Structure 1
């Protein structure tokens, strides 16, 4: 008798409508992983732990990373982020997700006094990007979609900076061996950018 294989499952936390996993989700699915999206803004409950999850993906949104009035589920997200880091469960936080990750692990997030960063912005490699499992192959000067008012002010203790930018210092970082946060949007599809252009402002 053969034991049926269970497809590894990635918990995807989406903070608002229209901010799905996009290209990142497509890559994960192509790699044989199953996405388990949770929509707390629409009444879904976040799991109490990452038991049974092969990874955690925390997406972006328009709210501030510390705004528990707008996002009352933030404390539960922080618990899952810390669990992922402590248990070496692969984690990727995108834009707001990266800011939540930084804040949950002891860093800080601030409003940009220079105004929002919007557009296709070049990324600059830092020495630690060499050999990084996620960003080791990203060429210097590669452009990435940006759409944010807030930014990471200080990285968490022990975090490794991987990518920077001309107008935003912390574009990508790693905590431990398997947790990454990014300020840019690697997940965006063309239709998402079009939707953003009609919205009230950057996330």
Structure 2
């Protein structure tokens, strides 16, 4: 089996539907849950790809020592061009690990169902090329990528966040937004993030309902995206 290492920094953001889509595409998922004390391997020699999810931790929190080995893995993945999908917190850690930087969002948190705009470079990207020009996503972040690493290719943005998706090398992807969520996960985030919800201008019920309504469109776009990423991982496994 083609093996994908899945790092879950917080069980508030599990692989959920994304994990199902990747498994359906033939990947064996080796999940490591930091909340449960699972160890993160020192390198990726036993895996063909890497998925790093999000969590409530801040990429800027030096006290979040559990994130240090995750950054190390992401640095190795970027250096060796190992197929990688890093989501939200994962995308911020990837940027840091590869020489970029992150910051607290000056405009406040971006949370809830929203749209992102595909950039021109995405048209020829093997994973992003099938994504429509303005797909639905779920945003939920208080920090953001301030500066992309040298050589990074911007793949998506929107009016409130300049870096929504990017690629390093040929196969290392960072997504600031979420594609893995279920309506229940988004509702739980809303219930436990009063600062983020307040920044949205909506109440908990409204933001949860809007996120739930977006999930069918999310699956239509991002399940095939996950399949194309799995194809990249399978291709590496064959080399």
Mapped partners of 2:180, 2:127: distance in 1: 14
Mapped partners of 2:60, 2:48: distance in 1: 26
Whether the 8 Å CA contact 1:65–1:96 is kept in 2: the answer is yes
Shift of 1:84: 1.2
Mapped partners of 1:15, 1:178: distance in 2: 22
Mapped partners of 2:193, 2:159: distance in 1: 25
Structure 1 unmatched runs, 5+: 1-6
- 2:65 is paired with a residue whose SS is coil
The TM-score normalised by the length of structure 2 is 0.78
1:177 maps onto 2:170 in alignment: yes
- Match of 1:73? 66
The TM-score normalised by the length of structure 1 is 0.92
- 1:198 is paired with a residue whose SS is helix
Structure 2 unmatched runs, 5+: 197-239
- Match of 2:3? 9
Sort the Cα spacing of 1:68 and 1:44 in 2 relative to 1 into closer, same or farther, 3 A: farther
- Match of 1:64? 58
Aligned ranges 1:132-151 → 2 under 5 Å: 132-151=125-144
1:93 maps onto 2:86 in alignment: yes
- Match of 1:4? none
Picking from 20, 43, 46, the partner of 2:40 is 46
Moved more, 125-134 or 174-183: 125-134
Moved more, 157-166 or 86-95: 86-95
Picking from 28, 31, 41, the partner of 1:34 is 28
Larger helix proportion of the pair: 2
Whether the 8 Å CA contact 2:154–2:167 is kept in 1: the answer is yes
Q: Give runs of ≥4 in structure 1 deviating > 6 Å.
A: none
User: How many residue pairs get matched?
Assistant: 195
Deviation by residue 1:26-56 (Cα, 9 ceiling, x = unmatched): 1110011111111123211111111110110
After superposition, the CA RMSD in angstroms is 1.2
1:55 maps onto 2:58 in alignment: no
Mapped partners of 1:12, 1:68: distance in 2: 23
